[in-house]
Amino acid sequence: MDSEMLEYLHGLIQIAAQAGNSRGTIEKFLTTLRKQFVFDNVAVYLQDERTASLEIVYARAIGRARNAEADAAWGETFASQVFAKGLILTQDPQPDAPADDRLRQAYMLGLPLGGDGSTTRGAVVFVRFGGPIYENEHIRVAKMATDLISVLFERAEWRATNSELNELKRQMQLQEDFVSTISHELRTPLGFIKGYSTSLLRKDTEWDDDTRDEFLNIIDEEADRLSLLIENVLESARLQSKTLPLRFQPLRLDAVLRDVVMRIRSRYKDLEVQLDTSSTPSIQGDGVRIAQVFENLFTNAIKYASGSPITIKLYSNGETVMVIFKDQGPCIAQDALPLIFERFYRVRSEKTVTGSGLGLYICKQIIQAHRGKIWAESTPGEGTAFFIELPINPSN
């Protein structure tokens, strides 16, 4: 093997070693391969683990006769033979093929992908229209190239598997964090309820009416908190399984917003809320669930942007209705923005913030059930804005 061929093969290995998009790497690899090994069509087949059949995963007409008829000549039957036998095979044109029709003069070279017959996972087919036949030197180069193509696909599969494992690990960590958080969130109201009810039941102490009322109010508030927490857990499970019933009817978002704002103001006397609602058409929606989304966004802003004014804007562009919730609190890190709507995810904060990590997840599931979109944008020094886009007519 001369130095030119060695340099050529080294170049192929360098391409195969590159990171990045596997299809782009294969494209570059095969284009370089053709400089020394002539072929017109190339097809890569892998076995589908579910059906055990060969599926074409890459095909390209890279050389002469690049037209629709040539593109169809991928050698599927020939590839099945190569795969079944686990051997390098060649196939010449049919004896009765017209000599003046190059597309009928197909010379095929098939190589098993992935090793010998016991480990074959696919096949690579090279096609030459009108020859020449495949010499031993050509077959050796094609075998080296096929081995490298196998490495490319194995590496892509490894990356996909590694990515899935990392995602699974992240989800498991989120669930572990959730269990820890929810245990704390459950114990806190239970502790208050148990403590104050035990105090009220003490026979050796007389409580005046004001103190008794204060204790009972605390028990009532903590029971509500506990009930809401349990309801959020149950709702998140129903939303995930698509079993939460929604009652769609004509709905005016401006009326829903005003009602929610009134309730929030009654609970948080010092909260500054600016509501800007232009005339918008009714949508088809579940008023109770949409109100729940708005309340969750208020709760989120009050937790993470305590003391910040909240601005709400409602408008329509004719096909959709937009709602924007904006606070002036701390910025959410850009890498966290895509994650905040995931189940159990909680934004890391410098201050201690209670919560289950379910509020924004519930928001997203409800909005998606209305065929809408919800997302967040955050800018340092300007706070965070949540955007909700709902179709006026979901059937469209």
CB-based contacts of 251, cutoff 8 Å, min separation 6: 282, 283, 284, 285, 286, 287, 290
Q: Could you confirm whether domain 249-391 is CATH 3.30.565.10?
A: yes
What pLDDT, on a 0 to 100 scale, did the predictor assign at position 224? 81
- Which residue has better confidence, 376 or 18? 376
pLDDT at 20 over 60: no
Domain limits of the chain?
3-163, 171-240, 249-391
What pLDDT, on a 0 to 100 scale, did the predictor assign at position 314? 94
For the chain, the average pLDDT equals 81
- Pairing between strand 273-277 and 310-316? parallel
Least reliable range by pLDDT among 10-19, 46-55, 290-299, 310-319: 10-19
Render pLDDT for 64-108 as a digit per residue (tens, 0 to 9).
444 444 444 578 889 999 998 888 999 988 776 666 666 678 889
CA-CA distance, 79 to 362, in Å (whole number)?
50
What pLDDT, on a 0 to 100 scale, did the predictor assign at position 168? 84
What pLDDT, on a 0 to 100 scale, did the predictor assign at position 252? 92
What pLDDT, on a 0 to 100 scale, did the predictor assign at position 312? 95
Amino acid at 207: W
What pLDDT, on a 0 to 100 scale, did the predictor assign at position 258? 93
In CATH, what number does 3-163 get? 3.30.450.40
Confidence of residue 55 (pLDDT cuts 50, 70, 90): confident
Percent of the chain surpassing pLDDT 90: 21
Q: Do the domains 3-163 and 249-391 sit in the same CATH topology, yes or no?
A: no
What pLDDT, on a 0 to 100 scale, did the predictor assign at position 65? 45
Confidence of residue 164 (pLDDT cuts 50, 70, 90): confident
Least reliable range by pLDDT among 67-71, 112-116, 128-132, 373-377: 67-71
- Which residue has better confidence, 228 or 288? 288
pLDDT at 182 over 50: yes
3-state secondary structure of 325: strand
CA-CA distance, 188 to 289, in Å (whole number)?
27
Q: Could you confirm whether domain 171-240 is CATH 1.10.287.130?
A: yes
Render pLDDT for 379-390 as a digit per residue (tens, 0 to 9).
888 899 999 999
What pLDDT, on a 0 to 100 scale, did the predictor assign at position 283? 92
Confidence of residue 319 (pLDDT cuts 50, 70, 90): confident
Render pLDDT for 204-256 as a digit per residue (tens, 0 to 9).
888 888 888 898 988 988 888 788 777 777 777 777 667 778 889 999 999 99
User: Would you list the DSSP string of 78-135?
Assistant: HHHHHHHHTS-EEEPPPTTS-TT-GGG-EEEEEEEESSSTTT--EEEEEEEET-----
